[in-house]
Structure formats: structure tokens, C-alpha cells
Amino acid sequence: MAASRALVAVAARSLADLGEDITLAQYRALVVLAGRGPQRAVDLSEALGVTPGTGSRMIERLVRKQLVRRSRSREDRRTVRVHLTGPGREVVAQVTARRREEIARILQAMPTAGRQRLTEALFAFADAAGEAPLPDWALGWDT
């Protein structure tokens, strides 16, 4: 639980430094879109573990902030998909970069022998949780 609290603190600080009015839940929606691509609102809500109504309100707030956009499917005009915008991608990239920096700083404070084991364990944890990997642009890596 202590490690979980530390990771939540890293996440909160990385958003607070952004200067944008984005909640952790809204940021999580941006990360899901970055990792999984455009989603129907109902699918995004399910991925976030919220009700469709809560998901719709969150999407509306993100649309107003111009971090996501909605578009109708060409194949089925009844289907609306939520897409990450350029500014939304930039938020994910900036916050991810800040988290990487802070996590690297924390890892440097750990004994060398434990770093590799922790890294492997965290990758396994993320995989077991069904976390989709982020694209290279969100990680700050050149493609």
C-alpha cells in the first residue's frame, strides 16, 4: 500500500505541474485513448470503470478543453468515436515525461540490485492489470 501511495503521489504531482485543470480521472481517459486508440464512449467508460453517464460527462469536459474530439464512424453513422487531439497527445506526453523523470530519480535512490527486479515486477504488474503500452510518442522516445 505504501508503494501505491507513492505512485499516486507521483501521478498527482505530474498533473499539478502541468498547469492545466485536468483531474486524474480525465488524465486516465487520455491515457486509455493514447494506448488503445479511438474508442466508443461506452467502451472508454468501461475501460475506466465508470458508468456510461459519468464517462459521457468526462468526455464532454475533455471536448470543451479541446483534448479529445468526437467523430461519427464512416461505416456506421450511428457510432461516435472519441479521439485524442494534438493538445491531448501533448498532455499525455508531458505528464509521462514528468513521471519518467520523477520515477528515475526515485529509482536512483534505490540499491542497484533492486532496480532490475522492481522494473520487471512493475512490467508484470501492468501486464496483469491489462494496461496497454503507450505509443513511443507518449513515452518521449524517438520513433
Helix axes 24-36, 2-16, angle to 10 degrees: 90
Average pLDDT over residues 64-74: 91
**Phi/psi of residue 11, each to 5°?**
-60, -45
Show the domain range for 37: 2-139
Instruction: Kindly report whether the global pTM for this prediction surpasses the value 0.95.
Output: no
Q: Is the pLDDT of residue 134 over 90?
A: no
- Structural contact between residues 115 and 76, judged by C-beta atoms closer than 8 angstroms: no
- Work out the pLDDT band at 132, boundaries 50, 70, 90: low
- Domain tally, the chain: 1
Distance of alpha carbon 107 from alpha carbon 111, whole angstroms:
8
Residue 9 sits in a domain whose CATH number is 1.10.10.10
Average pLDDT over residues 55-74: 93
Average pLDDT over residues 114-140: 76
Mean pLDDT of the chain: 86
List the grid coordinates of 137: 510518442
Distance of alpha carbon 75 from alpha carbon 86, whole angstroms:
24
